[in-house]
A and B are shown apart, each in its own frame.
Chain A
């Protein structure tokens, strides 16, 4: 090893704690970078493989009923590759020992032909057991999550109300499907595996049960390479319109697919935002440390240059020192990233219904993390290293001229008589290097800001749920009918014992158009002065639903670019498929979904129908809930029941894991930065002012008084950093709220006081720990040696 490299190794060892503090910040940056990107890549890769192996369809077309022969015509349409017709239905289930309503989507599996069994498209993945035997009317597959929630296995039975008839089904296998990676009941906002699941039955048996013999009510297809999905959808809509088609949609609009895509998008946002902060802080720390180190080694640099070492060699020497720290950080970061990435992928795997998880760590992700870290390190040290290399040797060997101090602004304002000498020293030192003081403050502030993100997620979800379910959607139960039903149903439900209040709703699939923008959603006709569904304005005050016109939620209004007063074109995708021009009466604040609303009576009128209902919102006495469930289960026309409170609970259970994980990561990382910045700043302040402080000790200052000068400055900077950090945290949360908004949900920018408090507390604790470490160093201050040395 060359002598200069030995110097490097020994010096690195000498500054090991400082180096470790910096390396930790880089570990955090690289770790989060790799965690996020590997999770995103793993999910993409896993999803792609799952879609490929199980032939996930590209177009989905629900309809009322069409003869099987129509499938031949679809197959011959240009652009269509494979076609799969199915019979599907929403059914309610009765699971022994579980009184609450459970609903399920029942999907047929082909009995005959080459695709018998799992099907041509959206093939099921059999986790255990076997497929139903053709012709057996009592065999079914159930989704893995539903089985897990109720501890069901092959051989167990359950009851399903199919087309008004109660059928006893034996579970022959547990399965998954690429169509239901994210499982959510219609009308629900969160997955709830205990109350909603998927069932598969043989085509013939299900067809008979649903009176769909020789017919289908659902069609999926894939398109040929290069074909336009839009064109296929247009042709399909025309073809299926007479058969009650409610509008075909592409994979991008398929709920499960879309939710996963949104999740991946968010993960990408995290993958960019966080590492940027970490790398910024790391660059600053490296700069500070390199400047100081080079300052201390001024004479050594001069000596080396005197003996003919070239500037480039000197520069390289210090760059290598910094790179050694960075490489340590990169190595640790890769390890941490893989660990966290695997952990997060695992959480995703349990959150989504995936049969497997291919953990993918692309070499280019690792290479990018390393390249960015090294780039940042070089950028951070460039200035200091270049300064060292450029210093003329003769000047380098002379002691640096005494730093120029001035009276601070506080003193110029005439306040100095209130300040003791040590306090003046603190203020002058801060003011002499405003940029460095500012950057230190900024670094600590960043730590504070990062920690707020963890708390923000939890609080924002609480707020979102509180507003959505406490103020807006307040029904205990929502029952949906298999078909639009006469308004009399409302009265019979209202008269059930235990039902306190009932409000009917009519929902119809529509395409909304405004100018060149359009959006497919459901238009809901609701009670004008409803108690169970209320629309809220931006101040969360209920909106009076006008007799005419539609109310859009704010997100949908934004998507369509409409404001109250604009006229919207509404294409109804059901029944007569009328196209209407309706005024937008108002916009409503909603955190979930993409909703459009109007008075039910007005909607019935526009659809040229009588007093028709698609479902009912119910308020139920908690003590009577079980009885109501039992009664509803026996009602043949009820396709599904959503219990809001239970859904929210289930959502929290699932979410708690990932939020907890995220909060933990954010807090750990925030604390790392805080400690890294504070400890390094203190360490450097000590080395810069070693002589000055030792001199004061010689003059009779006590350790505490000397510590005051050093720690007082950092306390001042830390205190200044906290409000700044809280502001930065607010900004980061605002950015995340903005970046995370999707048509599935929006995150409210709500930050409770405890979020601010926790962030500030962690920063203060990090500062105190650093201060404690420094206090020990101050005890070892060698007064004699310092005064003997020539500088």
Chain B
């Protein structure tokens, strides 16, 4: 049931160990998008010339128009941009939820753009954790079960209770989503995403549906996971204030990368100006 497979796949062959989890070392002040050579070797994702066109009903949407980008092991990157700038599309492609219309997306040396549906499923199962704006919890399952639904198919997960402890919900294990506040639901979603010990954590507007106080609690959890587990983390937001907690900020506009900048220091979430 958990999709055991015998044939090696291009995304996750035996010869492709996941990128090393290393705490970010590049904290030196830099204002350009130049990246040290040492870090470049640790690129988890290499995106080249990616475009994405899709149809929404009878409307044709050009979501990405040629994106080049790299994400590095252990870093916390914020993708910033107004709605419709293509940041969700980019994140979906990085997470193997969607495939680009053209271009290359390399993860640990393998091209996600050319991967089959089964390979992408395998990739998501092994390497990726997601956090969504509207939490996307399964309403008929409790907090613990919502985490279990993912750990059940993971290779070396932490126990659901431990993951929920990590996000401060150790006391609300058996509550259904409808019995939890928005912030709590989002923390369950984060627990669900990190419980499998993913290599990358992709967060799509994780605070978008929350008030600022609750949002900060959620961001603290994300920051802690990134720091303690060394998980490469990408956070999408249209809230420029959040950008200060990142190692790098990637700004998107109209389906293109408008700017990449490196923060001299990562600001702790509780000090962010919202």
Contact = CB atoms under 8 A, between A and B. Distances in A.
A46 B270 CA distance: 85
A316 interface: yes
Interface string B17-53: 0000000000000000000000000000000000000
A299 B138 CA distance: 9
B149 A3 contact: yes
B214 interface: no
A300 B118 CA distance: 19
A225 interface: no
Contacts of B138: 7, 300, 303-304
B250 to A, nearest CB: 19
Given A6-B140, A306-B124, A308-B124, A401 B57 contact: yes
Interface stretch (A152-160, A206-214, A392-400): A392-400
Interface string A377-391: 000000000000000
A73 interface: no
B141 A6 contact: yes
Interface in B77-130: 89, 92, 95, 97-99, 117-118, 121-126, 128-130
B181 interface: no
Contacts of A316: 1
Nearest to A307: B150
A458 to B, nearest CB: 49
B6 to A, nearest CB: 14
A304 B149 CA distance: 8
A385 to B, nearest CB: 16
A300 B117 CA distance: 18
Contact of B121 (A299, A310, A404): A310
A280 B121 CA distance: 36
A307 B125 contact: yes
Given A3-B145, A305-B124, A404 B136 contact: no
Given A7-B141, A302-B136, A307 B130 contact: yes
B145 A306 contact: no
Contacts of A300: 136, 138
Contacts of A311: 117, 121
B121 A303 contact: no
A453 B134 CA distance: 54
Contacts of A299: 134, 136
B148 interface: yes
Given A7-B138, A299-B136, A394 B92 contact: yes
B95 A306 contact: yes
Nearest to B139: A300
Interface string A291-320: 000000001101111111111110010000
Contacts of A10: 140-141
A613 B146 CA distance: 92
A404 B58 contact: yes
B149 A393 contact: no
B152 interface: yes
A313 B3 contact: yes
Given A10-B140, A300-B136, A401-B56, A306 B3 contact: no
A789 B226 CA distance: 31
A3 B152 contact: yes
B3 A310 contact: yes
Contact-size category for A: 20 to 34
A392 B150 CA distance: 18
A609 B260 CA distance: 122
Given A11-B140, A14-B140, A303-B138, A308 B132 contact: no
Contacts of B54: 395
Nearest to B2: A313
Contacts of B1: 2, 313, 316
Contacts of B137: 303
A310 B125 CA distance: 9
B132 A303 contact: yes
A628 B56 CA distance: 92
| Most A-side CB within 10 Å, residue of B3, B140, B150 | B140
Nearest to B5: A310
A313 B122 CA distance: 13
A517 interface: no
Contacts of B193: 307
A3 B141 contact: yes
Interface string A316-331: 1000000000000000
A347 B124 CA distance: 63
A401 B55 CA distance: 10
B140 A395 contact: no
Contacts of B145: 3, 6-7
B150 A404 contact: no
Contacts of A401: 56-57
Interface of A: 2-4, 6-7, 10-11, 14, 299-300, 302-313, 316, 392-395, 397-398, 401-402, 404, 790
28 contacts: A2-B1, A2-B148, A3-B148, A4-B149, A6-B145, A10-B141, A11-B140, A299-B134, A303-B132, A305-B121, A306-B130, A307-B124, A307-B149, A307-B150, A307-B153, A308-B125, A308-B128, A310-B3, A310-B118, A312-B3, A313-B1, A392-B97, A393-B92, A393-B124, A394-B92, A394-B97, A394-B98, A404-B57
Interface of B: 1-3, 54, 56-58, 89, 92, 95, 97-99, 117-118, 121-126, 128-130, 132, 134, 136-138, 140-141, 145-146, 148-150, 152-154, 192-193, 196
